[in-house]
């Protein structure tokens, strides 16, 4: 960051107390599905082009203003310490020059979160210009306010049940697609949204057999899941019930997933019906992203089976 002893004069700072644990508030930064709900001042929406949540990774997005104008953005993450702090710098539109640095801290205060977001500009003059011409101070407050509303929307139990159905055609034999669900070395390669990995993946492919997966998110958090296979008819049908756990081994989600495989046009027509129920506030966000998460997983599955079929 630019040197100098006038950092206070170059900074915009806002602090809020959120009535939510800091792990939950931090989670809202870790995936585009979260960020699309709150990033930017009131009236703005975003489209994420790329998102790599790790030190050195970049977030490329377009902010859509209420006036119809689009703003190209590129953010580079400099430091991520879950769930304590995030630091990143923001490049000027169409330039390699740093527009400003941002430092975000999450402080646990008795089950709540003291949240601070600080923008530091290259000079006090540049900060004053952005405040004067673009309303940056008010924009920062509105953005943090939207984050607070988004996190608060996870509270309560209303809307904590969801069913999604997806279909996909794969240019691969049905037996191979079925195997990708039941062979742990294949399952580990595609399970979970983009950016997620599965350091632990175990499958006992029989009725009553267990599935155990520890999914690793881009924010560094582990998402353990256990499932029981309730029905398995190779290569036609695969049914399992699962439990996902949150912080402190609390029950987070329960779901029933029904997968059917049908030969079609020389390949495989796959249907997934997933029914889920949440038990913690953060489950609301996960349910909201369930369809997109499955869609991204199936994209990864498609790449895998096409490669294996060659």
The pLDDT value recorded for residue 119 is: 96
User: What are 63-77's pLDDT values in tens digits?
Assistant: 999 999 998 899 999
Task: Provide the edge-to-edge strand list for the sheet that holds 251-264.
Answer: 161-170, 267-278, 251-264, 237-245, 222-233, 210-216, 197-203
Is 260 a residue whose pLDDT tops 90? yes
The pLDDT score that the predictor gives to residue 219 is: 56
DSSP the chain: ----S-TTTTEEEEEEEESS-HHHHHHTTSSHHHHTTT-SSTT-EEEEEEE--STT-EEEEEEE-TTS-EEEEEEEEEEEETTTEEEEEEEPTTSSSEEEEEEEEEEEETTEEEEEEEEE-S-HHHHHHHHHHH-HHHHHHHHHHHHHHHHHTT-SSTT-EEEEEEEEEESS-HHHHHHHHH-HHHHHHH-SSTT-EEEEEEE--STT-EEEEEEE-TTS-EEEEEEEEEEEETTTEEEEEEEEE-GGG-EEEEEEEEEEEEEETTEEEEEEEEEEEE-STTHHHHHHTHHHHHHHHHHHHHHHHHHHH-
Identify the band that residue 131 occupies on the pLDDT scale cut at 50, 70 and 90: very high
Would the pLDDT of 157 be above 60? no
CB 192 within 8 A of CB 186: no
Is residue 221 pLDDT above 90, yes or no? no
Burial 186-221 (b: 16+ CB within 10 A, else e): bbbbbbbbebbebeebebebeeebebebbbbbbbeb
Can you name the residues that pair with 243 across neighbouring β-strands? Answer: 226, 254
Instruction: Render pLDDT for 95-129 as a digit per residue (tens, 0 to 9).
Output: 678 889 999 999 999 989 999 999 999 999 999 99
CA dihedral 47, 53, 59, 62 (to 10 degrees): 20
Kindly report the length of the chain: 310
Query: Distance between CA 127 and CA 101 in Å, rounded?
Result: 11
Nearest to 57 by CA among 84, 28, 86: 86
Contact 246, 252 (CB under 8 A): yes
The answer on pLDDT for 184 being more than 90 is yes
Q: Tell me how far apart the alpha carbons of residues 256 and 205 are, in angstroms, rounded to a whole number.
A: 16
Q: What is the pLDDT of residue 34?
A: 83
Residue 154 has pLDDT above 90, yes or no: no
pLDDT over 70 percentage in the chain: 92
What is the pLDDT, as a whole number, of residue 140? 96
Find, among 200, 241, 170, the residue nearest to 192 by Cα.
Answer: 200
What are the distances in angstroms from CA 99 to CA 127, 170, 171?
10, 45, 46
Q: What is the pLDDT of residue 172?
A: 97
Report the distance separating Cα 189 and Cα 305, nearest Å.
Answer: 11
Across the chain, mean pLDDT equals 90
Per-residue pLDDT at 5 exceeds 80: no
pLDDT-derived band at 6 (thresholds 50, 70, 90) equals confident
pLDDT value of position 3: 42
- Do 107 and 10 form a contact (C-beta atoms < 8 A)? no
Least confident of 52-56, 90-94, 189-193: 90-94
Q: What percent of the chain has pLDDT over 90?
A: 66
pTM higher than 0.95, yes or no? no
Half-sphere exposure of 226 (CA within 13 A, CB side): 8
Q: In the prediction, which pLDDT does 216 show?
A: 85
Residue 158, φ and ψ in degrees, nearest 5:
-65, 140
Band (pLDDT 50/70/90 cuts) for residue 247 is low
Q: What is the mean pLDDT of residues 125-154?
A: 91
Domains of the chain and any CATH numbers? 11-152 (3.30.530.20), 161-309 (3.30.530.20)
Whether 194 shows a pLDDT value over 50: the answer reads yes
């Amino acid at each position: 960051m630019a040197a100098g002893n006038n950092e206070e004069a170059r900074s915009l700072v806002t602090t809020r107390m959120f009535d939510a644990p800091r792990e939950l508030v931090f989670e809202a930064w870790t995936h585009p599905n979260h960020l699309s709900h709150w990033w930017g001042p009131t009236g703005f929406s975003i489209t994420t082009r790329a998102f790599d949540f790790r030190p050195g990774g970049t977030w490329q997005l377009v902010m859509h203003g209420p006036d119809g104008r689009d703003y190209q953005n590129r953010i580079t993450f400099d430091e991520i310490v879950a769930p304590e702090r995030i630091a990143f710098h923001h490049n000027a539109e169409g330039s390699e020059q740093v527009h400003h640095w941002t430092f975000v801290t999450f402080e646990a205060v008795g089950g709540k979160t003291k949240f601070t977001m600080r923008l530091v500009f290259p000079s006090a003059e540049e900060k004053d210009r952005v405040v004067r011409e673009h309303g940056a101070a008010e924009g920062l407050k509105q953005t943090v306010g939207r984050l607070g509303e988004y996190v608060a929307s996870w509270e309560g139990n209303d809307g904590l049940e969801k069913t999604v159905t997806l279909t996909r055609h794969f240019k691969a034999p049905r037996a191979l697609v079925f195997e990708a669900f039941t062979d742990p070395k294949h399952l580990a390669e595609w399970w979970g949204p983009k950016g997620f990995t599965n350091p632990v993946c175990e499958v006992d492919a029989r009725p009553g057999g267990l599935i155990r997966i520890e999914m690793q998110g881009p924010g560094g958090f582990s998402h353990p899941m256990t499932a029981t296979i309730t029905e398995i008819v190779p290569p036609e049908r695969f049914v399992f019930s699962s439990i996902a756990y949150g912080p402190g081994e609390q029950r987070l989600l329960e779901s029933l997933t029904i997968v059917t495989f049908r030969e079609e046009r020389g390949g495989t027509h796959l249907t997934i019906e997933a029914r889920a129920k949440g038990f913690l506030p953060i489950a609301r966000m996960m349910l909201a992203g369930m369809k997109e998460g499955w869609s991204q997983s199936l994209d990864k599955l498609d790449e895998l089976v096409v490669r294996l079929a060659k």
